[in-house]
Structure 1
């Protein structure tokens, strides 16, 4: 089965549309949505409805910190700009949409796969996996062979052997990476809706569970239209500029 790993959509309608079309053209059969459907972008209602449609079709969906901020209130430490966008987003959603967000789980396990927004060791803390140490801690916290998470807006891949030896890869778009079955793996596909590695193209990844092969993908999309949506919503102009710069 080919599984699309999509995270940090951030209410970016144009990016999500492009990613779903790109994945369908590559034979993707199912989707795993790794949180942060909301926040920063100008089309939260549309994006959330599309997420709900995918879940009805069998997709995995977990709670992100921006989703939690909209549905339950911001966590301590969330930046003021993000809080303001969360409040605006809440005003754009219907009761059925807020009810969907509130019931999202922190984690989902399917077979050898664990899906979580931030990390496996304390999902509700939303602590970032910024490098190898946090990745090892996360892999130690689960028996899952494959952990897929988001939160970091850059693509990352880590592995841990049975003897405790850890390593990491720098993902290259479109390059297939065999995930050896005698190791644990933690993959972060990057952000669909707000990449932050200097490349504005949307990020996602495809995992072939039968072949145990992962490939990271970059998808150009109409970032100008996404930025215009942010500005039209009256959200901070900096959020629109970030989309164009990939930061």
Structure 2
């Protein structure tokens, strides 16, 4: 099976549409979305509709939960809170219902674990080898049958490996062949709001037969998204950061 692993769309329609167009060139069997379909940007209904119509297998992220009232909005920074209040008002009820029924994690076809934040907590961040070590320990205890976990939430591409108790961060390029030794923790980056210094949409292709992982980067019309942010009277910081990739 060839999977596309996407995450953190954040209602950025232009980024999602460009990604869907790119997906048509790489022939995948299934798209897995690691959550945060909505939040921040001005097209929550359109992005949700694409995920639904395309048959993506999706998780709920923390921004999805907040827009649905499933977690405390006060836990978010002021810019995120303002965008989430706007999103909660803008979302159609049918899309809220669809988002509400999404799971927090998935064990996909017995091949890998898919989570939003971390294997042990959907809201936890993994930014370092320490967080990765905790994730590997959880995988070893609770999911001994799998050796790969895809996670999102940080908006930063990452690839951690664990072998014989040693954790290494190995993200250095765009193409990897995973061995059958050790465990892997892999972040595809963000579709809608990158935070690794590279403007554009980022996602992964994973082939479960060859165990090849390809990080893909897709440009899109950032200026159009920025104009829509301004028109919706969302915080302008959200528009500015798209050009910086932070």
Question: Is the TM-score greater than 0.5?
Answer: yes
Is 1:67 matched up with 2:64?
A: yes
Q: How many Å separate the matches in 1 of 2:179 and 2:105?
A: 24
- 1:166 aligned residue: 167
Is the Cα contact below 8 Å between 1:72 and 1:102 reproduced in 2?
Answer: no
- 2:44 aligned residue: 44
Aligned-partner SS, 1:133 = helix
Aligned-partner SS, 1:87 = helix
- 2:156 aligned residue: 154
- 2:98 aligned residue: 100
Q: Given the two structures, how large is their TM-score scaled by the length of structure 1? A: 0.93
Q: How many Å separate the matches in 2 of 1:74 and 1:108?
A: 20
Alignment of 1:1-247 (within 5 A): 1-54=1-54, 57=55, 59-75=56-72, 76-110=74-108, 111-123=110-122, 126-142=123-139, 143=143, 144-161=146-163, 163-172=164-173, 175-247=174-246
Q: Given the two structures, how large is their TM-score scaled by the length of structure 2? A: 0.93
Q: How many pairs align? A: 239
Is the Cα contact below 8 Å between 1:74 and 1:83 reproduced in 2?
Answer: no
Unaligned segments of structure 1, at least 5 residues: none
Q: How many Å separate the matches in 2 of 1:224 and 1:116?
A: 31
Aligned-partner SS, 2:75 = coil
| Shift of residue 112, structure 1, vs aligned partner | 2.8
Is the Cα contact below 8 Å between 2:159 and 2:170 reproduced in 1?
Answer: yes
Q: How many Å separate the matches in 2 of 1:214 and 1:120?
A: 20
Extract structure 1 runs of 4+ deviating beyond 4 A: none
| Shift of residue 73, structure 1, vs aligned partner | 4.8
Is the Cα contact below 8 Å between 1:40 and 1:239 reproduced in 2?
Answer: yes
Q: CA RMSD in A?
A: 1.3
| Shift of residue 77, structure 1, vs aligned partner | 2.4
Q: How many Å separate the matches in 2 of 1:205 and 1:159?
A: 17
